[in-house]
């Protein structure tokens, strides 16, 4: 398994608080059979943009510290870049700073309040600059997910999507869980990530989330997402098979009777 989204670096964002916590998070990852994990600290949240060289150095340090205590896991550089108009100031054409493991793939975050038009304009601008944006946890964006067909349109045009394993076990509430399930049913979950911030609650243990995905009858998702993440490590282009249309999920009997 490859976890493409985590906050395992300590002292850089609201994720891990200490070296001990980072190492414990990595132990949990390895116990979930994660072989590779991307360190993706928040970048551009409330205007805070850590230097890329700091992220690179901290990732290398943590890799060494994990190796010293015998945790079998590879750590790759990355960032979770919040999309707003400042983003275009530091994501520069031709540079791979803030991308995943020096590839063309860049993990992008919106917020629950993000306006779909603005997000769309920024995603397209990044693609014009020859990046491949990966939308982090779309299931968490209330406004954008009022019309999921729009996310599918973005994906037809080259955007990819990563869902949080925790969303499938209900860690972010029922609405988010239903959205994640519908994205999975539409083959729109291209990557999986823990989005872990701590050793408790939102942690790096992906097992329960993966079990919830399997319980939906999707036994291929884990392997497919791992295969896709390997393409990031090779910096190769991905062309996932996507449905042509977003099918409205079938309504339950109460909705049909009461017209909700």
Task: List interacting residues with Fe ion (CB under 5 A).
Answer: 80, 195
Give the H/E segment covering residue 162: strand 160-164
Query: CA 136, CA 177: separation in Å to the nearest integer?
Result: 15
Q: Which is nearer to Fe ion, 24 or 80 (CB)?
A: 80
C-alpha distances out from residue 133 to 103, 127, 214, 238, Å: 11, 7, 27, 12
Q: Are 210 and 181 in contact (CB under 8 A)?
A: no
CB of residue 219 to Fe ion, shortest distance in Å: 27
CB of residue 254 to Fe ion, shortest distance in Å: 35
CB of residue 245 to Fe ion, shortest distance in Å: 30
Considering only CA atoms, which of 158, 154, 39 is closest in space to residue 100? 39
Q: Which is nearer to Fe ion, 153 or 203 (CB)?
A: 203
CB of residue 25 to Fe ion, shortest distance in Å: 13
Q: Which is nearer to Fe ion, 24 or 82 (CB)?
A: 82
Q: Which is nearer to Fe ion, 80 or 222 (CB)?
A: 80
Q: DSSP E strands: which ranges in 12-159?
A: 36-38, 42-43, 74-76, 80-82, 105-109, 132-136
Query: CA 45, CA 69: separation in Å to the nearest integer?
Result: 32
CB of residue 41 to Fe ion, shortest distance in Å: 9
Query: CA 250, CA 252: separation in Å to the nearest integer?
Result: 7
Q: Which is nearer to Fe ion, 120 or 195 (CB)?
A: 195
Which residue's CB comes closest to Fe ion? Answer: 195
Query: CA 207, CA 33: separation in Å to the nearest integer?
Result: 9
Q: Which is nearer to Fe ion, 82 or 222 (CB)?
A: 82
CB of residue 8 to Fe ion, shortest distance in Å: 11
Q: Are 136 and 80 in contact (CB under 8 A)?
A: yes
């Amino acid at each position: 398994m490859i976890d493409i989204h985590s906050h395992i670096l300590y002292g850089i964002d609201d994720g891990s608080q200490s070296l001990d916590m980072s190492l414990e998070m990595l132990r949990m990852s390895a116990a979930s059979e994660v072989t590779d994990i991307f360190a993706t600290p928040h970048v551009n949240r409330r205007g805070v943009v850590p230097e890329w060289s700091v992220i690179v150095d901290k990732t290398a340090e943590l890799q060494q510290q994990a190796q010293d205590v015998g945790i079998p896991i590879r750590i790759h550089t990355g960032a979770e870049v919040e999309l707003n108009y400042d983003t275009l100031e530091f994501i520069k054409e031709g540079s791979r700073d803030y991308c995943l493991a020096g590839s063309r793939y860049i993990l992008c975050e919106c917020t629950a309040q993000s306006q779909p038009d603005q997000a769309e304009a920024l995603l397209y601008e990044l693609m014009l600059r020859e990046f491949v944006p990966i939308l982090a946890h779309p299931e968490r964006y209330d406004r954008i997910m009022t019309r999921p067909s729009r996310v599918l349109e973005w994906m037809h045009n080259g955007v990819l999507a990563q869902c949080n394993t925790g969303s499938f076990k209900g860690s972010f509430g029922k609405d988010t869980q239903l959205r994640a399930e519908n994205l999975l049913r539409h083959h729109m979950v291209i990557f999986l990530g823990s989005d872990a911030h701590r050793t408790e609650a939102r942690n790096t243990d992906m097992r329960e989330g993966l079990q919830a995905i399997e319980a939906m009858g999707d036994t291929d998702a884990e392997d497919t997402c791992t295969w896709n993440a390997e393409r990031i490590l090779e910096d190769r282009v991905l062309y996932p098979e996507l449905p042509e249309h977003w099918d409205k999920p079938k309504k339950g009997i109460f909705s049909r009777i009461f017209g909700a």
